[in-house]
Every structure is written in structure tokens, then in C-alpha cells.
Amino acid sequence: MAVESVRVYHNARCSKSRSACALLGAKGVTAEVVDYLQTPPTREELQELLRMLGMKAGELLRRNEPVFQEKYSDHELSDEEALEAMLAHPILMERPIVVRGGKAVVARPVERVLELF
């Protein structure tokens, strides 16, 4: 039986993201780690992540980030505008996102990773 791959959309500066990777490692899971700030998802990948998460684009936005405050806080964003904002500024994506077997979770708290197993 094939082992399902695990992918982590990761920001090394984020303690929750580092903790999610550590939890996976402690469970013996080897994950593909994607530094989404260096390799941001395409529109299609981001839309697929949202589908797997069962979230709208606006729900995945980090509204406390300085770039959000500077560029987007003056009005409520539509889902398309939220998607465009995350494509333009990947730092606005909530993290970490862990994907396995067609399902995904935002690992906040980190133990949410275990929902995929």
C-alpha cells in the first residue's frame, strides 16, 4: 500500500509552523516542506487549498500583518480580492497549512495536524 504524501506550507519564522513540522517528525512522518514565501502557490493551488480546507479566501487571511493593514484594511475584501491579496503577498496566508490525502488543516493549534491521521 502506498504511503500518502504530506505537504506543509511553512514559514520558518513562525513558531507554529516550526512546531507543526516538529510534531510530524516526532510521529515519524516525512513531509514535503514548502516555504510558501519563497515558492508561493499559484492561483489554482491556492484555490485547491481553500477547497481542501473548506474555507473561503477571506478566512485564510492574516489580517494583523503589516501589509494587510497598509493595503487592505480600509474595506471588507470580497473572496476574489482576498485571493488576489494572498497571491500578491503570500505572507497574508494563515500558516502552517498541512495537506494529506486530499484534506488540509491550518495547524493552529498545532495538534490539528493529527486530524489528518
Tell me the pLDDT tens digit for each residue of 28-85.
999 999 999 999 999 999 999 999 999 999 999 999 999 999 999 888 999 999 999 9
- Give the chain's domains with CATH numbers: 1-36+95-117 (3.40.30.10), 41-93 (3.40.30.10)
Q: Which helix (H) or strand (E) holds 35?
A: strand 32-35
Indicate the residue type of 107: A
Residue ranges in the chain assigned as alpha helix (H): 15-26, 43-53, 66-71, 79-88
Indicate which residue of 14, 23, 87, 91 is catalytic.
14
Torsion of CA 20, 26, 32, 36, to 10 degrees: 20
14 is catalytic: yes
Cα Rg of the chain, angstroms? 14
**Residues forming beta bridges with residue 61, ordered by sequence position:** 93
pLDDT at 49: 96
Decide if 82 contacts 50 (C-beta within 8 A). no
pTM of the model: 0.90
- Percent of the chain scoring above 90 in pLDDT: 89
